[in-house]
Amino acid sequence: MHNPKIFIRGAGSQAKVILEILEVLKQECAGIFDDNPDIKEVLGYPVLGRWDPSMISEDARMILAVGSNMIRKKMAETMGCEWISAVHPSANISTRCTIDPGTVIMAGVSINTCATIGSHAIINTNASVDHDCRVGDFVHISPNAALAGHVTVGEGTHIGIGSSIKQGVKIGKWSVIGAGTVVIRDVPDNVVVVGNPGRILKNNV
């Protein structure tokens, strides 16, 4: 079967991790787009310059390698591309979960039965998303964060490294859960929560 060419937008650290996922999947990256003209290559892969849709064929697939959830959303909404997910083969993913296009699942992740993951999310190294969780579009779940069963995470929210989310908790959109936070109650939209137990540090992120 013909494999479509894969391109990445964003030439920072996230691109390096995605390139290595593609390498283990034996899906070569054909090039990277980035606005910074000084970056010529990433891990030996060519940086082609600013995003230019005329440089890719219709059947090409794109992945966004951008850490900011909001910038990923803006890019995804304006680029008009076909997206592809990158899932590290060491991730332990139930056959009963769904992962939408553009999402990156890194090494050692566990996603348990009947969980759903939206598009352009990042499920980072060794994070765990348990049964029946609902993870929205443009969410980032940082390394070693753990979502117990039936947790909901709204669009664009960042779950910090090593945080723990109690079962059934609903976290709103565009919020930030700080590193190491233990979330035991629902969290509204657009707040920063830190500590154990997690409490609101700031409103209006």
Ligand X SMILES: CC(=O)SCCNC(=O)CCNC(=O)[C@H](O)C(C)(C)COP(=O)(O)OP(=O)(O)OC[C@H]1O[C@@H](n2cnc3c(N)ncnc32)[C@H](O)[C@@H]1OP(=O)(O)O
103-132: contacts with ligand X (CB under 6 A): 124
Q: Which residues are catalytic?
A: 131
Does residue number 192 form part of the binding site for ligand X (CB under 6 A)?
A: yes
Nearer to ligand X, 115 or 176 (CB): 176
Choose one: 18-26, 41-49, 51-59, 189-197; the region binding ligand X (CB under 6 A). 189-197
Q: Rounded distance, CA 203 to CA 175, Å? A: 9
Does residue number 180 form part of the binding site for ligand X (CB under 6 A)?
A: yes
- Three-state secondary structure along 64-104? ECCCCHHHHHHHHHHHCCCECCEECCCCEECCCCEECCCCE
Q: Which amino acid is at 130?
A: D
Q: How far is the CB of 91 from ligand X (least distance, A)?
A: 15
Nearer to ligand X, 22 or 193 (CB): 193
Nearer to ligand X, 51 or 174 (CB): 174
**Concatenated DSSP letters of 29-68:** EEEEE-S-TT--EETTEEB--S--GGGS-TT-EEEE--S-
Judged by CB under 6 A, the residue of 143, 166, 167, 189 near ligand X is 143
Does residue number 31 form part of the binding site for ligand X (CB under 6 A)?
A: no
Contacts (Cβ under 8 Å, ≥6 apart) of 29: 6, 7, 8, 18, 19, 22, 45
Residues of this chain that interact with ligand X (CB under 6 A) are: 124, 142-143, 160-161, 176, 178-180, 192, 194-195, 201
